[in-house]
Amino acid sequence: VTTLQETLMAQVPGKQAELAKLKKEHGSHVIGEVTIDQCIGGARGIKAMLWETSNLDPEEGIRFRGLTIPDCQAVLPTYSGVKGDGEPLLESLLWLLLTSEVPTKEQVDSLTAELHSRAELPAHVIPLLNSLPKDMHPMTQFSIGLNACQTESVFAKAYNDGVPKTDYHEYVLEDILSVIAKLPEIAAIIYRNVYHDGVVNKDTSLDYSGNFCRMLGYDNPSFDELMRLYLCIHTDHEGGNASAHTTHLVGSTLSDPYISYAAGLNALAGPLHGLANQEVLRWIQALKDKFDAEGKAVNEETITEFAWETLNAKKVIPGYGHAVLRKTDPRYTCQREFALKHMPDDELFKVVETIYQVMPGILKEHGKVANPYPNVDSHSGVLLWHYGFTQYQYYTVLFGVSRAVGGLCQLYWDRALGLPLERPKSVTPEWLWSQVKK
Ligand code: CMX
């Protein structure tokens, strides 16, 4: 079996040469222009970042190394070992994102074993997590837990020892695999501490996602499958999203992967980004509470009424809209398909379906949003809720376990390709005025 490390080391010289050639021969080629709107409007659409692992098309949605979500479901190894029978394993996607190759089941199994072997948390981290107040947001706890694991960074040590920069990526890869390996237990400790008895049980005879489910306290093959799907689809969404971009930016200063991704987690914790999945459930529960109290059913009419109340209060409809996408998010669609297969009669799933029927029309009428369709966060919560995972304040932590894979696979290539410190130019309002008054 060719290992992940061997596969990567064989690819690096060719990729480095290709990028050097592109830069040398075409470095001055113009690929875009920047308007004042883009400069003050959150850099939407400006092409200014190299991203190897995935690409987001506004109409079609995400492709991981060229593969759509249905492609991944068809070709990546699954738990049963039969392609297409069940959801892809997270380890399969990790391999794909890092190497751009579809792994064999044997390769995936070797990666599962490697991740399990790297999972142990440093001794100081568990007491630290246990000491945190139960009402501290789970994402804050998650970020603290990962930051505290930084004592294990082999890259930080190697840098300190003065290794040449051509070798950085080898140490960064070590850290990346260790961070990905350690995140489930940090996440599970937080979940068990905040909502249960603090006890975390492992089952390393299972894959990464299955073991994570056991650590959270869930023992249901259908939930394992949901977790595999969930962890795969949240991994990567090209480079410009806030969590991936933050990881890349912080990593560009040669901060190690532990603290680079902890920074990414803090970006994910914002309500316009990853926290939206918790906000969706909060919005649905508020809607149900209101109409239950009024003795009214939740239907197209009452959802429409509630949506307008939200919009008129100058708040966003969580789970709708996107900075890049202009159609229904394929990550929404695959979760909807999962629900149709595993829980077609679930009450909250039907509410989500009804919201999906009316919301694009409402948002079009509202007339502001560039994209009136649902994004990934609009569906993930109700699937978890179905299995009794109702602690929605925690949902973004699951997103955070997954997003590590995309952000950190790219971070590997950032260092392997020797990408420089990121440092875009800012401008003053006076300078912008001087441009239009010329
Ligand atoms: N509800 C109400 N208003 C919305 C909206 C929504 N779901 N989505 C966008 N708008 C508003 C914007 O706030 C903006 O208003 P102003 O002009 O008053 O500032 C206007 O419509 C235009 O925004 P846009 O170009 O359509 O969207 P942006 O690229 O600026 O923002 C996003 C994208 C995701 C932040 C926005 O759609 C939003 O706030 N959605 C709700 C939160 C959410 O679901 N976030 C999760 C996204 C996926 C993820 O990262 O996890």
Q: Could you read off the pLDDT of 111-138 as tens digits, one per residue?
A: 999 999 999 999 999 999 999 999 999 9
**82, pLDDT greater than 80:** yes
Q: Which of 5, 8, 7, 3 is nearest to 417 (CA)?
A: 8
Q: Which residues contact 120 (CB under 8 A, 6 or more apart)?
A: 182
Q: Which of 12, 2, 51 is nearest to 409 (CA)?
A: 51
Residues carrying an active site annotation: 273, 322, 377
User: Mean pLDDT throughout 88-105?
Assistant: 98
Two tokens at 356? 């999906």
What is the predicted pLDDT for the residue at 438? Answer: 74
Question: Could you tell me if 213 and 223 are in contact, meaning their C-beta atoms sit under 8 angstroms apart?
Answer: yes
- The HSE-up count of residue 252 (CA atoms within 13 Å, CB side) is 14
Query: By alpha-carbon position, which residue is closest to atom 27 of ligand 1?
Result: 323
User: pLDDT tens digits, residue range 262-297?
Assistant: 999 999 999 999 999 999 999 999 999 999 999 999
User: pLDDT tens digits, residue range 396-428?
Assistant: 999 999 999 999 999 999 999 999 999 999 999
User: pLDDT tens digits, residue range 328-356?
Assistant: 999 999 999 999 999 999 999 999 999 99
End-to-end CA distance of the chain: 64
Q: Which residues contact 133 (CB under 8 A, 6 or more apart)?
A: none
Question: Could you tell me if 367 and 167 are in contact, meaning their C-beta atoms sit under 8 angstroms apart?
Answer: no
The secondary structure element, H or E, covering residue 310 is helix 300-312
Q: How far is the CA of 316 from the centre of ligand 1 (A)?
A: 7
Answer yes or no: is the ipTM higher than 0.85. yes
Q: How far is the CA of 36 from the centre of ligand 1 (A)?
A: 20
User: pLDDT tens digits, residue range 161-210?
Assistant: 999 999 999 999 999 999 999 999 999 999 999 999 999 999 999 999 99
Question: Could you tell me if 334 and 73 are in contact, meaning their C-beta atoms sit under 8 angstroms apart?
Answer: yes
Which atom of ligand 1 is nearest to 371's Cα? 26
CB of 381 sitting under 6 A from ligand 1: no
Rounded to two decimals, the pTM is: 0.97
Query: By alpha-carbon position, which residue is closest to atom 8 of ligand 1?
Result: 321
Query: By alpha-carbon position, which residue is closest to atom 28 of ligand 1?
Result: 323
**66, pLDDT greater than 80:** yes
What is the predicted pLDDT for the residue at 26? Answer: 98
In this structure, whether the domain defined by 119-421 belongs to CATH 3.60.140.10 is answered with no
Residue-averaged pLDDT of the chain:
97
- Say whether 85 sits in a helix, a strand or coil: coil
**218, pLDDT greater than 90:** yes
- Say whether 75 sits in a helix, a strand or coil: helix
Task: Output b/e per residue, 31-40; b: 16+ Cβ within 10 A.
Answer: eeeeeeeebe
What is the predicted pLDDT for the residue at 29? Answer: 98
Report domain extents, the chain: 4-115, 119-421
Is there a shared CATH topology between the 4-115 domain and the 119-421 domain?
Answer: yes
Two tokens at 42? 């959150």
CATH number assigned to the domain covering 4-115: 1.10.580.10
